[in-house]
Amino acid sequence: MDNLTENLNVRPGDIVLLVGKDRKEFIISVEPGREHQTHHGVLPHDAIIGKRWGATVATHLGYTYLILPPSLEQLVRSIRRATQIVYPKEIGYLLMKMNIGPGTRVIEAGTGSGGLTLALARMVMPHGHVYSYEVRPETQALAQKNLAALGLLPYVTLKLRDIAEGFDERGVDAVFLDVREPWDYLPHVHTALKGGGFFGSLLPTTNQVAALLRHLQQPAFGYIEVEELILRPYKAVPGRLRPFDRIIAHTGYLVFARALPGEFNPDLDTRPERFGDPDLTDAAEFIDDSE
């Protein structure tokens, strides 16, 4: 309860989303003594500290900003990025598809700017862990900074490594590859995953999807799925409700598969029989055999 009372107001160190009347948004870490420069005047952090969440604050020129706690979606979209990020719509879906939640041990590569990393870390805490591989030092440094700003570093191990050398972990629950040619690393993925473990990848082109599918035709993998998520935002005007004119219509194709106990055979590229190609009408039924 004490905790609830405190949470009513912005405290030093809090991560704050500021939303202007011009719909311009900023996310800042609030620290006593600092100032935030906007196009509409200066906003001293001290004017934000102690305000109620959801209240407004004015710049020295009288321009007001709404003070909100950022959502995970907003954090992911706001991070400083050197690379293309995985979008929140795909992140939310892969959490569900790859069974990632509190307690999960998950490998990710590459780290990139850390957008997916921070979402994974937020979701597996407090007892799970993210092992995130990246080959470019400056990219990893950016991700580290992003994760540190949000206090999520304790849940992440950042590794500076070409994943062609393999992963250190064994028996992990899930592996997600956001790399150009994920098929090159399937034997390493298989070695790291536990039986029935979840593999996922995000690929922008149909050619990459076809190549990955070809390499997944292995006794070592099964239950292969390809899906695409399209997010359609609407103008939130009650009397003129309509979709946005222009949208981001393509981010990538999601490919999912499961690790099976079979050996990975690098020479194989056809598989006569496949388990579990998903069919829309065949959601599993939960059956109680005690009845």
Residues within window 96-115 making contact with a copy of itself, judged by CB under 8 A: 96-99, 101-102
Count the site residues for a copy of itself by CB under 8 A: 130
272 binds a copy of itself (CB under 8 A): no
Tokens at 242, concatenated: 């309509």
- In the list 49, 95, 158, 189, the residue contacting a copy of itself (rule: CB under 8 A) is 95
Supply the minimum distance, in Å, between the C-beta of residue 134 and a copy of itself. Answer: 19
Instruction: Rule CB under 8 A: choose which of 83, 89, 187, 268 binds a copy of itself.
Output: 89
**Measured from the CB atom, is 98 or 106 closer to a copy of itself?**
98
Between 94 and 130, CB nearer to a copy of itself: 94
- Which residue number, 13 or 162, has a Cβ lying nearer to a copy of itself? 13
Q: Are 108 and 131 in contact, with CB atoms under 8 Å apart?
A: yes
> Which residues does 66 contact at the CB level (< 8 Å), separation at least 6?
18, 19, 20, 54, 55, 56
* SS3 (DSSP) at 207: helix
Q: Which of 12, 46, 73, 82 binds a copy of itself (CB under 8 A)?
A: 73
The CB-of-70 to a copy of itself minimum distance in angstroms stands at: 7
Per-position x/- string for 237-266, each x denoting binding to a copy of itself as judged by CB under 8 A, each - no binding: xxxxxxxxxxxxxxx-x-x--xxxx-----
Contacts (CB under 8 A) with a copy of itself, residues 128-187: 146, 149, 170-171
| Contacting residues for 73 by C-beta, under 8 A, at least 6 apart | 88, 92
182/197 with CB nearer a copy of itself: 197
Secondary structure (DSSP) of 136-174: -HHHHHHHHHHHHHTT-GGGEEEEE--GGG--S--SEEE
Give one DSSP letter per residue of 24-54, joined into a string.
-EEEEE--TT-EEEETTEEEEHHHHTTPBTT
Q: Which of 194, 263, 265, 266 binds a copy of itself (CB under 8 A)?
A: 194
- Give the residue, chosen from 63, 66, 141, 191, that forms a contact with a copy of itself under the rule CB under 8 A: 66
Of 21 and 61, which CB lies nearer to a copy of itself in the complex structure?
21
Name the residue among 252, 253, 258 with its Cα closest to residue 220: 258
Do the beta carbons of residue 117 and residue 111 sit within 8 Å?
yes
The answer to whether the Cα torsion of 122, 124, 128, 129 is positive or negative is negative
Q: From the CB of 262, what's the least distance to a copy of itself, in Å?
A: 8
